[in-house]
Amino acid sequence: MPQHAHITLTVNGEPTDVAFAPYKTLLEVLREDLILAGTKHGCELGECGACAVLLDGQPVLSCLVLGVDCGGREITTVEGLASDGRLHPLQDAFADLGAAQCGYCTPGFLVTAKALLDEHPHPTRHQIRDALSGCLCRCTGYQQIFEAVEAAIATSDSRLSTTDSRSRT
CB of 167 to ligand FES, least distance (A): 38
- Cβ(112)–Cβ(128) below 8 Å: no
Applying CB under 6 A, which of residues 70, 78, 90, 100 lies at the interface with ligand FES? 100
Applying CB under 6 A, which of residues 6, 13, 23, 46 lies at the interface with ligand FES? 46
Give 16's contacts (C-beta < 8 A, 6+ positions apart). 8, 9, 10, 34
Applying CB under 6 A, which of residues 51, 113, 117, 132 lies at the interface with ligand FES? 51
Residue 32 interacts with ligand FES (CB under 6 A): yes or no: no
Applying CB under 6 A, which of residues 18, 26, 36, 50 lies at the interface with ligand FES? 50
Applying CB under 6 A, which of residues 16, 101, 155, 156 lies at the interface with ligand FES? 101
What's the burial of 164, exposed, middle or buried (CB within 10 Å: 0-12/13-18/19+)?
exposed
- Cβ(39)–Cβ(62) below 8 Å: yes
Q: How far apart are CA 114 and CA 88, in angstroms?
A: 9
Stretch near ligand FES under the rule CB under 6 A, chosen from 7-15, 46-54, 115-123, 158-166? 46-54
Applying CB under 6 A, which of residues 32, 33, 37, 104 lies at the interface with ligand FES? 104
Q: How far apart are CA 80 and CA 127, in angstroms?
A: 24
Strands 5-11 and 74-76: parallel
SS3 76: strand
Stretch near ligand FES under the rule CB under 6 A, chosen from 11-19, 44-52, 71-79, 151-159? 44-52
- CB-wise, 8 or 133, nearer to ligand FES? 133
Residues binding ligand FES (CB under 6 A):
41-44, 46-51, 61, 63, 100-106, 137-140
